[in-house]
Amino acid sequence: MSILTATLTGPLPLNNNVPVADIPALVFPALLDTLIMVGIVMLIVVLVGIPLGALVHNLAPGGLFENPALHTTLSWIVSIGRSLPFLILMAAIVPFTRFITGTNIGIAAAVVPMSIAGIAFFTRIVENSLRGVPPTLVRVAKASGASPLQIIRTAQLSEALPSIIGGLTINTIAMIEYSAIAGTIGAGGIGYVAVTYGYQRFDNTVMLATIVILVATVASVQLIGDRLVRLTTPHSRTQARLPRAARREASLV
Amino acid sequence: MISLEQLTKVYGHGDQRTVVLDRLDFSVDAGEIFAVVGPSGAGKSTLAQCVNLLERPTSGSVLVNGENLSQLSEKQLRVARRRIGTIFQSDGLYSRRTAAQNVALPLEYLGVTAAETRARVAELLGRVGLSNKAGHYPHQLSGGQRQRVGIARALALRPSVLLSDEATSGLDPDSTRSIVALLKELRDDLGLSILFITHEMDTVLQVADSVARLDHGRIVESGRIVELLRDPASGLGRALRPARSHESAAADATEWFVSYTSAAVPADWLTRLADQLGTTVSLLGASIETVDGATVGHASIGVTGADPDHLIAVAQSLGLDARTEQPADEPAEILEQAA
């Protein structure tokens, strides 16, 4: 009896939980991996998604280069990218990923499916933001002698910027989520740590640490995004400068 | 000067074919303000878009200073558009740009240097009286101020033609008056041809020299404002003046409607009319005003026991048209259509 008690209360040889003191060393490099992964992906997403979104928007009826056939085709391709759950997309394009990166594990391999999912997502966000710009502004630009590229830059993208940044925030957060899913196929990052330590080894402390870090990361991204939206919207920017009483008065007018 | 020759715009084909503009012909001289009025759906916005070349006419042409602009290629068109300044309805400003940056837009598109742009923008903002609002964003400006920015922007490239597409719609009466005064001032200073498209009859009266009524894509009536107002048979002339109710005549009197038909109506025509008829003439309702320095007027009078033919002759000698009933075309109806 006493032997049994001693075995149960003593240090368990089978328990290979990460000691609390070692958790930062495990979690922070993983967070850095996640940030690098999401950073690279978002760079690609913005570089491809903004022109693609503007193109889809302007191929639509009423757009600058109205072309129903091309619009339908592009729209379908984007929709397919949007409709596959990320886990399935990731598995489905493994050959393509290997063709591009030469591997199907690690950060490089995760960037490919994440970029594809992210571009499809962001294209729709850009398209939707551009739809919110009053059509009069395009007419104003045309009547002022603007070229199509000038119209897209000044009348469409610039006016939609706050809305696009808002969408970019949502997109970035979704990519952090996707990076965790990519972690399950050994992409590294915080998702990988959560799965291998927290889930497969039942190490609740590590699991908790990854959750805290993910929540903090997502909250910071949201905070930065909201701040940028406010900075790029003259209306809210000038309102924020007013003292509270004046603001309340302004909202009543 | 801008002229339209047989301008026609058709949308759709076969059964779906709709003629939106039907062979429009008119011209606006330098220094003239020409208004086009009409109910919604008459083709006003299509007309505006054909004039500033955002839409290609199906047939016919738009000529600016004698040059046909409707046959140009897309790229030439972009250059040609710069000769026509367009003022849009008040929502035409970029919300993320200041007043100065909005005015600078056409210069930016043209590739004018920053220094030149700054100077021109300052000059334009000064011209519309907004020098002190250069750094304000559209949401910090009133409707009238926003429209002034729009006017400054339309003038940025020194156009010879200004197109105003419902520019005063949605503005309060004071702002409308100040915008109208500004347009007239610009017309005089810069010798602009201004095409003023609107649905507001009272604004037309304030701003325009001539007016055309567009209905179902056709110009149904047009002429100089003063002449239309002096023509008792003109439906457009009646639509231009507000329909006011007047007192009804005494039981033994006949009601007559009198309009000024010439500039030579004596101010004391009422007394003279009564003297020459040898009877009492009572005034039931009247509106006498000057439009561009010319006097126009309409009155309802009650006359007891006068010979109708004699009365008409006497009125004529005083420069007045007299008739016993308002002409058939109900002005109220036209006003309603126009609104």
Q: What does the DSSP assignment read for B46-105?
A: HHHHHHTTSS--SEEEEEETTEE-TT--HHHHHHHGGGEEEE--TT-S-TTS-HHHHHHH
Summarize chain B as % helix, strand, coil (round to 5): 40, 30, 35
Q: What is the pLDDT of residue A240?
A: 52
B95, A235: Cβ pair inside 8 Å? yes
Report chain B residues whose CB lies below 8 A from the CB of A142: 54, 81
Report chain A residues whose CB lies below 8 A from the CB of B157: 144-145
Closest CA to B9 of B49, B65, B66: B49
Q: What is the pLDDT of residue B90?
A: 66
d(CA B260, CA B278): 22
Cβ-Cβ contacts under 8 Å between A and B: the total is 73
What is the dihedral angle through the alpha carbons of A138, A142, A147, A150, rounded to the nearest 10 degrees? Answer: -40
Chain A residues near any Cβ of chain B (below 8 Å) = 134, 136-137, 139-147, 150, 154-155, 158-159, 161-162, 232-235, 238
Q: What value does the mean pLDDT take over residues A89-109?
A: 86
B81, A233: Cβ pair inside 8 Å? no
d(CA B201, CA B76): 36
> Judging by DSSP bridges, how do beta strands B210-215 and B33-37 pair with one another?
parallel
CATH architecture classification, B2-230: 3-Layer(aba) Sandwich (3.40)
In this structure, what are the phi and psi dihedrals at residue B37, rounded to the nearest 5 degrees? -115, 165
Residue A5: count of CB within 10 angstroms of its CB: 9
CB A175 within 8 A of CB A118: yes
Report, as ranges of residue numbers, the positions in chain B whose pLDDT lies below 70: 90-91, 243, 326-339
Residue B289: count of CB within 10 angstroms of its CB: 12
Shortest Cα distance, chain A CAs vs residue B186, angstroms: 19
Q: What is the CATH number of domain A27-232?
A: 1.10.3720.10
Q: What is the pLDDT of residue A72?
A: 95
Q: Which two tokens stand for residue A186?
A: 């050994």
A158, B109: Cβ pair inside 8 Å? no
In the predicted structure, residue A253 carries a pLDDT above the cut 80: no
**What sign has the CA pseudo-torsion A3, A8, A11, A12?**
positive
CB B151 within 8 A of CB B180: no
Residue A198: count of CB within 10 angstroms of its CB: 18
Fold of B236-338: Alpha-Beta Plaits (3.30.70)
For B97, residues 6+ apart whose C-beta sits below 8 A from its C-beta are B105, B137, B138
In this structure, what are the phi and psi dihedrals at residue B52, rounded to the nearest 5 degrees? -90, 15
Q: Which residues face B8 on adjacent strands?
A: B59
At A14, the pLDDT band (50, 70, 90 cuts) reads: low
CB A58 within 8 A of CB A152: yes
d(CA A97, CA A90): 9
Q: What is the pLDDT of residue A198?
A: 81
Q: What is the DSSP letter of A201?
A: S
A136, B88: Cβ pair inside 8 Å? yes
> Judging by DSSP bridges, how do beta strands B67-68 and B59-64 pair with one another?
antiparallel
B94, A134: Cβ pair inside 8 Å? no
Q: Which residues face B210 on adjacent strands?
A: B34, B224
At A3, the pLDDT band (50, 70, 90 cuts) reads: very low
Shortest Cα distance, chain A CAs vs residue B114, angstroms: 17
Instruction: Please return the burial class of B72, using the count of CB atoms within 10 Å of its CB with bins 0-12, 13-18 and 19+.
Output: middle
Q: Which segments of chain A does DSSP mark as H helices, in order? A: 2-9, 23-59, 68-83, 86-92, 94-101, 106-131, 135-143, 148-150, 158-183, 190-193, 204-232, 234-241, 244-252
What do you get for the CA distance between the two ends of chain B, in Å?
Answer: 29
Q: What is the pLDDT of residue A2?
A: 46
* Tens digits of residue pLDDT in A176-202: 989 888 887 777 788 888 888 888 888
d(CA A58, CA A200): 49
Closest CA to B205 of B235, B225, B185, B183: B225
Q: What is the pLDDT of residue B131?
A: 93
B54–chain A Cβ distance below 8 A for any pair: yes
Please give the radius of gyration of chain A, using alpha carbons only, rounded to the nearest integer.
Answer: 24
A235, B139: Cβ pair inside 8 Å? yes
d(CA B161, CA B192): 6
What is the dihedral angle through the alpha carbons of A12, A15, A20, A22, rounded to the nearest 10 degrees? Answer: 120
B157–chain A Cβ distance below 8 A for any pair: yes
Find the farthest-apart pair of alpha carbons in chain A and give their distance in angstroms, rounded. Answer: 93
Parse chain A into domains and list their residue ranges: 27-232
For B178, residues 6+ apart whose C-beta sits below 8 A from its C-beta are B144
User: Does the model's ipTM exceed the 0.90 cut?
Assistant: no
The closest CB to that of B109, out of A137, A146, A161, belongs to: A146
Closest CA to B211 of B222, B196, B220, B200: B222
Q: Which residues face B11 on adjacent strands?
A: B18
Report chain B residues whose CB lies below 8 A from the CB of A234: 95-96, 137, 139
d(CA A238, CA B216): 46
* Tens digits of residue pLDDT in A140-188: 999 998 999 999 999 999 999 999 999 999 999 999 989 888 887 777 7
Parse chain B into domains and list their residue ranges: 2-230, 236-338
Q: What is the mean pLDDT of chain A?
A: 86
> Judging by DSSP bridges, how do beta strands B161-165 and B193-198 pair with one another?
parallel
Report chain A residues whose CB lies below 8 A from the CB of B140: 238
* Tens digits of residue pLDDT in A224-240: 999 999 999 988 776 55
